Amino acid sequence: MTTIHTNVDVTAAGSRAASLVSVIADWITTADHKKIGRLFIGSSLVAAVATAVLAAFLGLERMSASSYSILNGDSVVQLFAAYQFSLVYAIVAPLFIGLAIAVVPLQLGSRSLSYPRLAAFGFWAWASGLIITLAALGANGGPGGGNSNMVDLYLLALGLVALGLSAASVSIAVTVLTSRAPGMSLLRTPMFSWSALMGSMATVLTLPVLIGTLAYLYVDHTYGRVAFGGNVDVTKWIGWSFAQPQTFIFAVMAVGVLAELAPIVAGVRQPLRPIMLIGITLVSTAALGAATQSTHAMSWTGTTSDKVQEFIPFALFNLLPILGVLIVLALGGLAAKAGRVKPTASFVFAFLGTGMILVGMLVHALSLIGPAALAGTVAQESSTLYVVYGAVMVALGAIVHWGPKLWGRRLPEKQMFGLAALSLVATVLSSLPYVLAGFLDQPGNAVAGWSYDASALLNTVSTIGHALMFITVLGFIGLAFKHFTTGALAGDDPWDAHSLEWSIPSPAPAGNFADIATVGSAEPLLDVKPARQGASA
């Protein structure tokens, strides 16, 4: 039994005259991985715009901490639940799963994605669950919801979201494991595809834990409401899935994007390539904490022996992902030193975004150290924002890089550099004030009820940051829509790249490859470029 669906969408000669209904039906029923990936990407970018608006709205309310100015107390819990859910499951997770679905088969020299119908089911399950989850929250369901039917619906819909993302992740993992071109061992897998394997396997390991927890909560809430606290304690049991280290799992592919782009902009083969693969793998160890629903904090009290006993699990669960990102950044710098860097907008997006992800990881680790006293404060929200917004930055860079292969046209570099700078400012302004506010004991998931001198200033700055991220993503969508339809033609290999996707026409045709290539190294396209054959190995 093959994992490849060979009957992918092939546009007929007269498709330009097809009716709107036919076009919609084609996208709804598609088994073409490039279309499925773009459905995920487009939907998650729209969700990012909406989530930035919601974050700014909550920030406006936080400017006046003495009382409610815009909202009422009954809606705050649902709005924060929608905000946390959207950051993770409406933006960062589907965004990178979509990128992997669209790009990985092309990198591997495969004609299709493994189990493409499963991936398509994953998209529609995720999209349906997303809509129903937000509708249930809007109808007073979810954590603390007063409508018991909507609380039940929220739990079921969130399970549908997790099921959809898990199904799509299975397709990605199986593709990397079974559909590589002849000669392409796992150690020769392109960096982004390797990160897609690590991220998808970690997703498949952790999201079923969430689904199981939701099943327990649903049964308890429907019948007894005695074991898990009913609607009041929903967040207590599933809150781990909206925070760190779960967000690190979805950021694994973001780190892989930087690892992919660094040697391309330097024009060399990646030095110490196996170590780079290990670095990406270390980031995926965040699955240990997510699957066990544990972060292992450090109280930093007791004897030296007590501190050592606390530090070992703390390091295993929280510091290994940080080490992985540091390895990727260091080896990316080594590649730059070995070659002559010609930064592209995609690389700038990826480099700056990965730096923000690293900061988010460090803030998370700091929040778990007892003397910092950041547990339960907005500093933990800051960690999530650094990781999610940083990952969005990387994803925008990935779209700039692989967009020409999907659409056949390039985005304007000058405007993309500007958006990269704006996204960095947006991420820092939205996140850094909450780190400072955490040290001043501003509680998380609240819009009122605290008092300190700089409260209005810090919350105002964060609100401005969210507004700038809204402008960034909306501007990117506008430019992408314009230039991917009428922009400059890209050519087959606009970046002088190294992997197989750049050996075929742009946009990639149905079926991807007319002939399956035999791979002789980790940089098969670089092997046929004589001027580069002497580059450092």
The yes-or-no verdict on residue 59 having pLDDT over 50 is: yes
Distance of CA 252 to the CA centre of its chain: 8
- Cα(280)–Cα(341) distance, integer angstroms: 22
- Who wins on pLDDT, 316 or 467? 467
Q: Could you count the other beta carbons within 10 Å of the beta carbon of residue 367?
A: 23
Q: What is the pTM of this model?
A: 0.94
Residue 296 lies in a domain: yes
Count the Cβ atoms, other than its own, within 10 Å of residue 282: 22
Which pLDDT score, from 0 to 100, does residue 17 have? 46
Distances (CA, A) of 36 to 89, 163, 168, 302: 17, 16, 10, 54
Whole-Å CA distances, 524 to 346, 418, 532: 22, 33, 12
Q: How many CA atoms lie within 13 A of 212 on its CB side?
A: 9
Give phi and psi for 39, each to the nearest 5: -65, -45
Q: Is 369 exposed, middle or buried (0-12, 13-18, 19+ CB in 10 A)?
A: middle
User: Which two tokens mark 346?
Assistant: 């995609």
What pLDDT, on a 0 to 100 scale, did the predictor assign at position 337? 87
pLDDT digits (tens, 9 = 90+) for 312-366: 999 988 999 999 999 999 999 999 888 877 889 999 999 999 999 999 999 999 9
Distance CA 511, CA 504 (A): 11
Q: What pLDDT sits at residue 499?
A: 94
Report the alpha-carbon distance of residue 352 to residue 391 in Å, rounded. 10
Q: How many CB atoms lie within 10 A of CB 93?
A: 31
Please tell me the distance from the alpha carbon of residue 190 to that of residue 104, in angstroms, as a whole number: 9
What span, in angstroms and rounded, lies between the C-alpha atoms of 192 and 142?
36
Amino acid residing at 237: W
**pLDDT at residue number 53:** 95
CB 460, CB 418: distance < 8 Å: no
* Long-range interactions of 288-294: CB distance < 8 A, separation 24+: 288/245, 288/316, 288/317, 289/244, 289/245, 289/317, 289/318, 290/202, 290/205, 290/206, 290/209, 290/240, 290/241, 290/245, 290/246, 290/249, 291/205, 291/206, 291/209, 293/209, 293/213, 293/240
In terms of DSSP H, where are the helices of 179-299? 191-219, 234-238, 246-250, 252-266, 273-283, 286-291
Average of per-residue pLDDT across 11-36: 76
Residue 10 domain flag: no
**Close Cβ partners of 487 (under 8 Å, ≥ 6 residues apart):** 409, 410, 411, 412
DSSP-assigned letter for residue 4: B
Quick one: pLDDT at residue 18? Answer: 53
Residue 295 included in any domain:
yes
Q: Does residue 137 lie within any of the structural domains? A: yes
Which residues touch 74 (CB under 8 Å, ≥6 apart)? Answer: 140, 146
Return the pLDDT at 225. 76
Question: What counts of helices (H) and strands (E) characterise the chain?
Answer: 19, 0
For residue 25, is it within any domain? Answer: no
In a domain, 248, yes or no: yes
* Structural domain boundaries, residue 319: 47-492+500-532
Question: Using CA atoms, how far apart are residues 96 and 200, in angstroms rounded to an integer?
Answer: 10
Q: What is the mean pLDDT of residues 233-251?
A: 91
Query: b or e along 474-493 (b: 16 or more beta carbons within 10 Å of the residue's beta carbon)?
Result: bebbebbeebbeebeebeeb
User: Rounded distance, CA 448 to CA 459, Å?
Assistant: 11
Collapse the DSSP code of 451 into the 3-class scheme (helix H, G, I; strand E, B; otherwise coil) and give the result.
coil
For 103-145, the DSSP string reads HHHHHHT-SS-BSHHHHHHHHHHHHHHHHHHHHHHHTT-STT-
Residue 383: how many other CB atoms lie within 10 Å: 27
Tell me the one-letter amino acid at 151. V
The more confidently predicted of residues 35 and 235 is 35
> Six-digit token pair at 403?
């967009």
In a domain, 368, yes or no: yes
Interatomic CA distance for residues 35 and 171, integer angstroms: 15
Domain CATH number, residue 150: 1.20.210.10
| Span 353-410, pLDDT tens digits | 999 999 999 999 999 999 998 989 999 999 999 999 999 999 999 999 999 999 999 9
Q: pLDDT by residue (tens digit) across 105-124?
A: 999 999 999 999 999 999 99
Rounded-to-integer distance, Cα 457 and Cα 459, Å: 6
Q: Is residue 95 part of a domain?
A: yes
What is the chain's length?
537
Instruction: Tally Cβ neighbours within 10 Å of residue 370.
Output: 13
Number of domains, the chain: 1
Within 8 A by CB and 6+ apart from 298, the residues are: 307, 310, 311, 314, 368, 369, 370
Q: What is the pLDDT of residues 72-106, one digit of tens each?
A: 766 888 899 999 999 999 999 999 999 999 999 99
